[in-house]
Amino acid sequence: MNAGVAIAAIVAGGLLLLGRRPRAGDTLALGRPLDQALVTSGWGDSRDYRATADNPHPKHEGLDLRAATGTPVGAMAAGVVAYVRLEHTGVSGRGVRLSHPNGLTTEYLHLSRVLVRAGQRVSAGELLGLSGSSPARPDVPHLHVTVRANAAALARYRRLYGMPAGGFGSTTRGGTAVPAEPLVRATYTAAVIARASARGVAPPRAA
């Protein structure tokens, strides 16, 4: 292939990319990470958080789901393992972060076992590890999940769900933390929707 053909191919690829039809990966919907998903602490709850100079109004940037230690944790969508933490220290403990094609990342913390490696591709629902508890709260086993959105996904999130009452969470290399309840459609119960609505997060559109 000569240079002219290669450039034409790249341009054509770019045009196809811009003009392509919406795909499943364009949506912000996520599956549930556990078979049974009971929310025990939602987005923005501030109990158990101590204010610091850097973070005077700390809040819970994620969703806690009740799970006995050893419960299988599945990927909320297909993606790539972006990061694995094996040290069971601090508040987070062991964890896995996935990067998804729709601009979201999902993070699974307080694991008792990690069963994937960084760089590994995973399909939706694939086993990532086993749940556990935070090293800071070993007596309360649960799974913590945080969903982050990059700039494009954040714009879609705002368009679909509006701005939550407490605003969005901190921005890190993995994106901006967003409330996960409206995204984890399969986790929905009437109570979760009511609580998300009370916090100013619009319930999801009918799929």
The contact set with Zn ion (CB under 5 A) reads: 62, 64, 144
Residue 135: CB minimum distance to Zn ion, A: 13
d(CA 87, CA 92): 9
Residue number with CB closer to Zn ion (158 or 199): 199
Residue number with CB closer to Zn ion (62 or 79): 62
d(CA 80, CA 82): 6
Residue 146: CB minimum distance to Zn ion, A: 8
Cβ distance 30 to 104 under 8 Å? yes
Residue number with CB closer to Zn ion (46 or 123): 46
Reported as type and span, the H/E element at residue 100 is none
Residue 39: CB minimum distance to Zn ion, A: 10
- How big is the CA angle at 100 (ends 97 and 101), to the nearest 5 degrees? 160
Residue 68: CB minimum distance to Zn ion, A: 16
Q: Quick check: helix, strand or coil at residue 111?
A: strand
Residue number with CB closer to Zn ion (149 or 180): 180
Q: Which residue is nearest to Zn ion (CB)?
A: 144
Residue number with CB closer to Zn ion (78 or 106): 106
Phi then psi dihedrals of residue 115, to 5 deg: -120, 20
Residue 141: CB minimum distance to Zn ion, A: 12
Reported as type and span, the H/E element at residue 47 is none
